[in-house]
Amino acid sequence: MSNLKEKIMKLRLNILFTILAFFFCHVQSVYAANTGAQQLKTFLNKSVSFSAAFSQSLFDENGIELQFSAGNFSLQKPGKFVWDYEEPYKQVIMSNGKLIWLFDSELDQVTIKPVESSLSKTSMVLLFNKNDIEDDFKILTMDVLDGVNWLELVAIKQDAEFSSIFIGMKNNLIDSIKMIDGFGQTTLIKFTKISTAVKFKAGYFNFIIPKNADVIGGE
């Protein structure tokens, strides 16, 4: 992989694992009805499976867009997911809970890693255990903008990948996630075509390696 592609893949993995940690957490506190925090609690505690289309933009500290991508996202608790980039080129990050496949269409290359070697201990705990999200983030209620209830999740641990995470909730579904890293860069992800309680086919989360693709790693 080129240095640029390695940086892009690393960034996407960091974003994905942060989002997955959020999706697999639970909220146990009681909040007033119809607030963003109550909607977050309902969504996280009841969404065993989930699928959506997404768009993802990366902005620098001055608000200039550096990168745009889009695709589809699916997950099944515990630990199974597909992060499928369709734009600007095909790239897939997938896991069946045991292995992670990283596929780059431009390189025609698949990298296979055990989940344990790809995730931090914190991410492993969050993905495969029923953690309370408030063990890792302080939840702050923010304004309602264009019908979206915004919350700020402030990382309690100093070694967190992102300093702040903003969650937009609408009609008990996740609308947006905005993440700010230590360099002042912002990643904004918008979700559309959301479905919950999705029934995935057997083997859906097992990646099928394209013919003639280079394979790195394995079981």
Q: What per-residue confidence (pLDDT) applies to 120?
A: 53
Q: What per-residue confidence (pLDDT) applies to 171?
A: 87
Q: What per-residue confidence (pLDDT) applies to 64?
A: 92
Residue 16, domain member (yes or no)? yes
Residue 11, domain member (yes or no)? yes
Residue 214, domain member (yes or no)? no
Residues 161-186 have pLDDT tens digits of 677 788 899 988 889 999 888 788 89
Own/partner contacts of 113-121, CB < 8 Å, gap of 24 or more, are 113/217, 115/79, 118/13, 119/17, 120/17
Q: Could you say which residues of the chain have pLDDT below 70?
A: 1-11, 21, 24-34, 117-136, 155, 157-161, 219
- CA dist 156 to 11, 39, 86, 161, 204, Å? 21, 22, 34, 11, 35
Q: Is 129 helix (H, G, I), strand (E, B) or coil?
A: coil
Residue 156, domain member (yes or no)? yes
Number of independent structural domains in the chain: 1
Q: What per-residue confidence (pLDDT) applies to 30?
A: 47
Beta-bridge partner residues of 145 = 148
- CA dist 123 to 61, 115, 138, Å? 27, 10, 17
Q: Is 41 helix (H, G, I), strand (E, B) or coil?
A: helix
Q: Residue 80 in contact with residue 65, Cβ under 8 Å?
A: no
Q: What per-residue confidence (pLDDT) applies to 162?
A: 74
Residue 215, domain member (yes or no)? no
In this structure, the strands spanning 173-181 and 214-217 are: unpaired
Q: What per-residue confidence (pLDDT) applies to 159?
A: 56
Q: What is the CATH number of the domain that holds 14?
A: 2.50.20.10
pTM of structure? 0.80
**In which domain, by residue range, is 47 found?**
3-199
Q: What per-residue confidence (pLDDT) applies to 197?
A: 82
Angle at which helices 121-128 and 3-24 pack, to 10 degrees?
40
Residue 65, domain member (yes or no)? yes
